[in-house]
Chains A and B, each alone.
Chain A
Amino acid sequence: MCPTKSASSAALDLNALLARHSADPHALVQLLREAQALQGWLPRQTMAQLATGLGLTLAQVEGVVGFYRFFYTQPVGAYRILFSDNVTDRMLGSEALMADLCQRLRIAPGAVRDDGRVSVERTSCTGLGDQGPALLINQHQVVTRLDGQRVAHMAELIEAQVPVAQWPAQWFEVHDNIRRADVLLGHAAAPGVALAAALARGPQAMLSELKRSHLRGRGGAGFVTATKWELCRAAPGSEHVVVCNADEGEPGTFKDRVLLTHCAEAVFEGMTIAALVIGARRGLVYLRGEYRYLLENLQAVLARRRAAHLLGACIHGQDGFDFDIAIHVGAGAYVCGEESALIESLEGKRGAPRIRPPFPVENGYLGHPTIVNNVETFCAVNHIANQGGAWWAGIGTPQSSGTKIHSVSGDCERPGLYEYPFGTRVNRILEDCGAHDTQAVQVGGPSGMCLSAFEFGRRIAFEDVPTAGAFMVFNRGRDMFEVARGFAHFFAHESCGFCTPCRVGTALVVKRMDKLAAGQGSRHDMEVLFELDKLLHSATHCGLGAAACNPLRDTILKFRPAYERHLKSLYFEPGFDLDAELSIARRMTGRDDAGAHLENRQ
């Protein structure tokens, strides 16, 4: 599990870690992950040693540690259980399962058991919405399809101190669940074929092909990929860098997890084609910490590609075409999906979004011109290299070319991945996944759009309903207020805390939503929620903060009765119960007659 090491051997290990990373301060996040894997948590002494070894101050290291959710400055349980806390997990009963596990282990959520054996907490969506409820153990492995039986068995294994590696193997099974394949999830060309096609075209012609394809980034923002690459290619710099954003943190999204499992070759090959176009020698994959269990396989694919001369020096025998890829594992921070925050994190810092301009294409990783693209975007590049831009542009709509993969979860018979050409209507997807009596669909995750039944004729496309890949289905039995409240908690939990409106605003939204949930809300609270939404949209430092109130705004507008059920009065209602506050005075005076209660109480 997590071996308790003596101080001296831990120090030796740290020195070895530092040496392995050449004492590079930009490797701080990786070093912290590895140091924590040795000791289970990060004692102050460890942070101080790393600071000294890297030429940083202790406070700088402490600042980085405190930024990421998966770093601990206090001892944690030898078994650290983190229940995935997306709405889809809760809909599958995760709350009751977590309560059951806590009861069996005799611990409270968030606390470490007195014997140090185990701790149980919640974490943001682990990207397993199609096979939840899910949990994460020691930030390394996942258990899917939890049920009462698994929880009961797990409690026994923990009490018997059975190492996680000896737990039933089927618990760790992660299924691809590809339900509808089109171009990207369909037949893949052999490794190297797309790269050979790109090399045959040459960098400039490959870029032209990409332009012709009208490919737009799959991470959500929809920036034209060829424009990004062209700007980076033209930017002066001693080195150019290709970054793959595999920080799939948007709740309800899991298509990148499958792409990294099912077609990792294509992802790396797309990155290599990008390197050819922009003239990069260095590639980096930012893999979210929750996907740590994919790392060994990804490393094996990279090794295979090096052996096949598809990575490394003189790729495909072409002199001067040198490119290699390293994988950086994140440590639990949704905001690092934002490209400039992601770059900060790659540089070993707190993942706060940068001031832009300059944009990464000019000034990115370590100041080098850098492109950051989504996993799915790099997959698409292969197909464009193979079949040409015009072919790709012929799929989908004029403004949204090609296909898009949707991570379908929630109230449907067949959750999993569905790939369609852009322009597909929402109700087609609902029909295919076996959704019935659907009340709402959250497209693109909490920062996307919540659609109600009268909008199911709309099309998934940048010009109508854009998406980063999540498609969460809610039937008429679901309380959309509770869905929005869950998302509000998510954004407050994940706010990086850099700018005032997001840091304080998301926490204020949570207070209001909890007040409504407690039955103490009024119309005034809803007005304040609208005010906060408006402010966050205009005043935040980055796009994630701006989108933090999207689920709230959509659900208030479209599912108002779900909110009004929680309103106590049409007028202002205080956040506390005045009569209940008087209970102390009543107890002290020994009275409990009608006259000792507020008049309007029954």
Chain B
Amino acid sequence: MTEEESTVPGFMLDGEELPFEPGETILQAATRAGRYIPHLCWHPEFEAHGSCRICIVKVNGRTCASCTQQAAADLEVQSNTEEINAERKMLLQMLFVEGNHFCPSCEKSGNCLLQATAYQIGMEGPHFEEFYPDRPVDASHPDILLDFNRCILCALCVRASRDVDGKDVFALGGHGIKSHLLVNSASGRLADTDMALGDRAASICPVGVILPKRRGFAIPIGHRRFDARPVSEQVECETP
């Protein structure tokens, strides 16, 4: 952005001016410019959900989610500050203690956005006491395993199945700390849906809930996506 001359004034992200297009959110504009703002429930291909709150930023002194906040000229946005990263760390710790996350034995380890973001933010421990919820897995489907223990309720699978696959396989259920993912079938099991391995919903999960069967540790730990480079250096992967 060094020599670019824009007719429309941009907004300031951590002291640097960023251009934006009308209708863009702060997170969209930042991602397009290759600037990293931590996030979990947001994905460039889908409409914003605003639930994980990891992408919180301070806009003119007020905290808000950058995935839902519209970019506007002359906004003063703070993202990579000690205060906001401390809040993000607490939010990540909340997600870790809410579910059952055993990274060393998780097939998603190294490819997991939750784990990568926790490393990025410098989370060194859970801080809070674990809830250890009882969440049975659904191994009914011939090709896909559902391990709800790792679910962070980002609803990306809900959106992908609805908006891309046109199948509506997933929905959010319950309320409060007992909120959970629902599978749409009479039995409530994945085997009785028309979900297929090639569906967008099968590959969208940022954590290790929706996993292909019979493909364990094909890429060794240490050689996976976030083992190579931290998540903050892979923003271009998300540019649509």
Q: Which residues of A contact B (CB under 8 A)?
A: 44, 48, 57-60, 62-63, 66-69, 333, 350, 355, 357, 492-501, 503-508, 511, 528, 531, 535, 538-541, 575
Contact = CB atoms under 8 A, between A and B. Distances in A.
A538 B59 CA distance: 12
Nearest to A498: B51
B119 interface: no
B148 interface: no
Given A60-B171, A507-B131, A497 B176 contact: yes
Contacts of B87: 535, 538-539
A63 B65 CA distance: 25
Nearest to B47: A355
Contacts of B185: 58-59
B161 to A, nearest CB: 10
Contacts of A575: 129
Contact of A494 (B54, B153, B176, B182): B176
A503 B131 contact: no
Contacts of B91: 500-501, 535, 539
A541 B50 contact: yes
A493 B174 CA distance: 12
22 contacts: A58-B184, A58-B185, A63-B182, A67-B175, A69-B175, A350-B175, A493-B176, A495-B177, A497-B174, A497-B178, A500-B51, A500-B91, A500-B95, A501-B53, A503-B98, A503-B153, A503-B176, A504-B97, A505-B94, A508-B128, A535-B91, A539-B56
Nearest to A68: B175
Interface string B140-168: 00000000000011000000000000001
Contacts of A69: 175
Nearest to A350: B172
Central interface residue in A48, A62, A539, by most chain B CB within 10 Å: A539
Interface in B58-90: 63, 65, 68, 70, 87, 90
Contact of A63 (B152, B171, B177): B171
Contacts of B169: 59
Nearest to A333: B175
Nearest to B152: A500
Contact of A497 (B65, B90, B175, B186): B175
A2 B90 CA distance: 47
Nearest to A508: B128
B43 to A, nearest CB: 16
Given A535-B90, A538-B63, A538-B87, A500 B177 contact: no
Decide if the interface of chain A is mainly helix, strand, loop or mixed. Answer: helix
B94 A504 contact: yes
A525 to B, nearest CB: 11
Contacts of A494: 176
Contacts of B95: 500, 504
A357 B131 CA distance: 34
B177 A59 contact: no
Chain B interface size range: 35 or more
A501 to B, nearest CB: 6
A426 to B, nearest CB: 30
Contacts of B54: 500
B24 to A, nearest CB: 14
B170 interface: yes
B12 to A, nearest CB: 20
A59 B56 contact: no
A528 B94 CA distance: 13
Central interface residue in B173, B176, B178, by most chain A CB within 10 Å: B176
A540 B176 contact: no
A502 to B, nearest CB: 9
A97 B179 CA distance: 32
Interface in B92-130: 94-95, 97-98, 128-129
A59 B171 CA distance: 6
A101 to B, nearest CB: 26
B182 A59 contact: yes
Nearest to A61: B171
B210 interface: no
Q: What are the nearest 8 A-B pairs in CB distance?
A: A497-B179, A59-B184, A59-B171, A504-B94, A538-B63, A507-B177, A66-B173, A495-B176
B174 A499 contact: no
A531 B51 CA distance: 20
B128 A58 contact: no
B183 interface: yes
A507 B173 contact: no
A62 B171 contact: yes
A357 to B, nearest CB: 8
B1 to A, nearest CB: 28
A331 to B, nearest CB: 11
Given A67-B175, A355-B68, A499-B51, A504 B170 contact: no
Contacts of B177: 492, 495, 497, 503-504, 506-507
B37 interface: no
Contacts of A541: 50-51, 53, 65
A457 B167 CA distance: 61
Nearest to B67: A355
B48 interface: yes
A493 B178 CA distance: 10
B176 A59 contact: no
A541 B174 CA distance: 18
A503 B176 CA distance: 5
Given A496-B175, A538-B56, A540-B53, A59 B183 contact: yes
Contacts of B168: 57, 59-60
A535 B170 CA distance: 30
A495 B90 CA distance: 18
B176 A355 contact: no
A540 B53 CA distance: 7
A44 B175 contact: no
A402 to B, nearest CB: 30
A499 B179 CA distance: 10
A62 B173 contact: yes
Contacts of B48: 355
Nearest to B154: A500
B209 interface: no
B52 interface: yes
B53 A57 contact: no
A493 B176 CA distance: 7
Interface string B178-214: 1100111110000000000000000000000000000
A500 B87 CA distance: 12
